[in-house]
A and B are shown apart, each in its own frame.
Chain A
Amino acid sequence: MRDRVLIGLALVLFLTLVTYPMWHAVYARTTAAGPQLKLPQTAKTCVAPVAFMRASHMKLLINWREGAVRDHRLEYTAYDGEKYRVNLSATCLGQCHTNKKEFCDRCHSYAAVSGPYCWDCHVDPTTVVARRMP
């Protein structure tokens, strides 16, 4: 029974390591709650039902992109018959989701979605200061 101390120490070390993620979560104040998103203030409907947009907005955007750039389809008829201009900056952000940081970015960061690189090129209209014409 001379190894009692060693065994005890090893046990403590083992338990610490195994439960480390839990302690870390407690320390970082992680909760299971979803991200607090800033929803559009005025618009009540999106171009597709909310459940679809939540799961598949990336597919819809890819289709918009292909349609607008390659096939020159610049108008989108939504499921409820409403017509929208196919334009990420002007329609999605310009008309409804005026707060990209607290809508797009917040959820992407919660879901640990790296990218997307849309914004390397497309411009968030709210960040643009009034332009001067020559």
Chain B
Amino acid sequence: MKITRKEFLRITGLSVAGAGAAKLVRAIGVAGPAPPSSVSAKRWGMVIDFQRCRPGDDCDDCIKACRLAHNIPEIPERAHEVKWVWKERYEKVFPFQQSDYTRRAYQGHVLPVLCNQCAQPACVRVCPTAATWKREDGVVMMDWHRCIGCRYCMAACPYGSRSFDWEDPRPYIKHLTADFPTRTKGVVEKCNFCEERLANGRAPACVEACRQKAIVFGDLNDEQSPVRQLLRARFSIQRQPELGTGPSIFYLV
């Protein structure tokens, strides 16, 4: 078969256009939103049981364990305090879930709170250096090598879960451990869901330390996990879910 000049030019032009279009489609596909992660992917979560937790009885096992595991300084000046797990007053933990009666009944009650490890973390969206990011297993990570201390994340976090190191924390650490780095002046820190322990297949330090077994840890995507069983069996609340952050910490009431 003989191809005319006109035919040849037309085929060449069409194939070049086709190749270009394929490349364009692929580029858009790559740049677009990532496909949803598979159902088998983990999403670590935590359930805290109010009926078992006794923070009012001066119990602070979880806080102590966390402090030891992560070299958290105890700074007496409240404005410089560094908090990973801490006790918060009821009315501050659930500000929009109160009535006049609950307000009166639970006045002064304290609850343990920590980073919510949100599904849609506001802190991650605002971080200009990607020093904080969300891992595939749901842990909101912090890279202190990259943190420039701008504190945008602290402004974005609706739960006050982040603390800034206003001064060198080393002198305020009572029992230094070499297993975890300390932080330096000028970075933001928060609960890391004990990712260094998760890597070794261990539960977070607060979960292990709790004598009341009030904290349960597990995979929220696994229907048979202890957290899912609890969430099926009992009524739970999250901290300000209406903000759309999707907290991974649930409180059993």
A residues sitting closer than 8 Å to B (CB atoms) are 65, 69-70, 72, 74, 89-90, 94, 117, 120-125, 127-129, 131-134
Contacts and interface: CB of A to CB of B under 8 A. Distances in A.
Nearest to A70: B143
Nearest to B180: A123
Q: Which of A72, A121, A134 has the most CB of B within 10 A?
A: A121
Contacts of B64: 134
A121 B144 contact: yes
6 contacts: A70-B143, A123-B181, A127-B176, A128-B177, A133-B68, A134-B61
The 9 A-B residue pairs with the shortest CB-CB distance, nearest first, are A125-B178, A121-B181, A123-B178, A120-B184, A134-B64, A122-B181, A89-B178, A128-B178, A131-B175
B145 interface: yes
A72 B68 contact: no
B185 to A, nearest CB: 8
Nearest to B173: A123
Q: Which of A70, A74, A89, A123: most chain B CB closer than 10 A? A: A123
Contacts of A117: 184
Nearest to B209: A134
By size class, the interface of chain B is 20 to 34
B65 interface: yes
Given A133-B68, A134-B64, 19 more contacts: A69-B141, A69-B145, A72-B135, A89-B181, A90-B179, A117-B184, A121-B184, A123-B176, A123-B182, A127-B176, A128-B176, A128-B177, A128-B178, A131-B68, A131-B175, A131-B177, A132-B175, A134-B61, A134-B209
Interface string B58-73: 0001001100100100
B22 interface: no
A121 B168 CA distance: 10
Main secondary structure of the interface of A (DSSP, over half): loop
A90 B145 contact: no
**Which of A117, A132, A134 is the most central at the interface, judged by chain B CB atoms within 10 Å of its CB?**
A134
A123 B169 CA distance: 13
Contacts of A65: 145
B199 interface: yes
B228 interface: no
Contacts of A72: 135, 199
A117 B209 CA distance: 33
B84 to A, nearest CB: 16
B162 interface: no
A89 B194 CA distance: 18
B178 A134 contact: no
A131 to B, nearest CB: 5
B61 A121 contact: no
Interface in B60-96: 61, 64-65, 68, 71
Contacts of B65: 134
A77 B55 CA distance: 46
A23 to B, nearest CB: 41
Contact of A74 (B181, B199, B209): B199
Interface in B140-190: 141, 143-145, 175-184
